[in-house]
Amino acid sequence: MLNQPLLDTLSQLGLPAFRAALVEQWQSPHYADLAFEQRLGLLLDLEVTRRTNNRLQRRLQQARFPLQATMEDLDLSPSRGLNRSQVLHLAQGEWIANHLNLLILGPTGAGKSFLAAALGRAACQQEYQVLFLRTSRFLQSLELAHADGSWPQLLAKMARTHLLIFDDWLRDPLSRSQAQDLLEIIDDRYGRVATTVVTQVPVADWHLRIPDPTLSDALLDRLIHNAYRLELTGDSRRKRQVVADGSVRP
């Protein structure tokens, strides 16, 4: 096949979408009337789109979202206590570019984690690196990092991630060493990257869950004073509801 050397070259250059689209052009009469520049433009557009989608999928995998949440899936009705224009503004990611924080507050089951995951996915689509963390499990990983000597590497990773999402923040009271570790992480991030805190604990009660007043003041200072706030209201969205046909849905 006379075209095989060209196909091999495209494979060597790492242009799989370009290669597949070129084969399609050769096999389809629909492209015969297009100018060379038009056909080349289509090939390049397909390769760029494929690479963009691949990068997005890698960012989504690295983010470790526990929920498949998107902005399109969000219920932004006023009954939930959400300001639609504010949420849509946050989805544009300007607050991440400006290295600000976001607090998502509300009762258990109100949809806080889903909202955080949807905003995190929107950030991934804007090419930000995101990491979704269950706070209790993350605190366990900090202990392991100290024990196995990987603490400096973990600290560096946390410092360079564009958006960290702490879910179930302060669900359990912190020990002094946990508070010190979190403060070191937050301090490295302050004014450089963005952090989201998702919690059912009112900000006024955070002091009660951090044993050292000095550490508590320092953490609050770095998290809440440069933060947007979203406070969800309403009943738990996990409650099982009986629908009209007698079936049950979550």
The string of pLDDT tens digits covering residues 143-201 is 999 999 999 999 999 999 999 999 999 999 999 999 999 999 999 999 999 999 999 99
Q: Which helix (H) or strand (E) segment is 217 a member of?
A: helix 213-224
User: Which tokens in the block code for residue 207?
Assistant: 């002091």
Residue 173: phi and psi, rounded to 5, are -60, 145
What 3-state class would DSSP assign to 229?
A: strand
Predicted model pTM? 0.80
Q: For residue 197, what are the β-bridge partners?
A: 103, 166
What number is the average pLDDT over the span 36-54? Answer: 84
Kindly report, residue by residue over 52-98, the tens digit of the pLDDT.
Answer: 888 999 999 999 999 999 999 999 988 888 999 999 999 999 999 99
CB atoms under 10 Å from CB of 219, counted, come to 22
**Terminal Cα distance for the chain, rounded:** 58
Find out whether 141 and 166 touch, Cβ atoms under 8 Å: no
Contacts of 160 (CB under 8 A, 6+ apart): 129, 193
Structural domains of the chain sorted by starting position, each given as residue range(s) with its CATH number in brackets = 4-62 (no CATH), 64-231 (3.40.50.300)
Residue 11 has pLDDT above 60, yes or no: yes
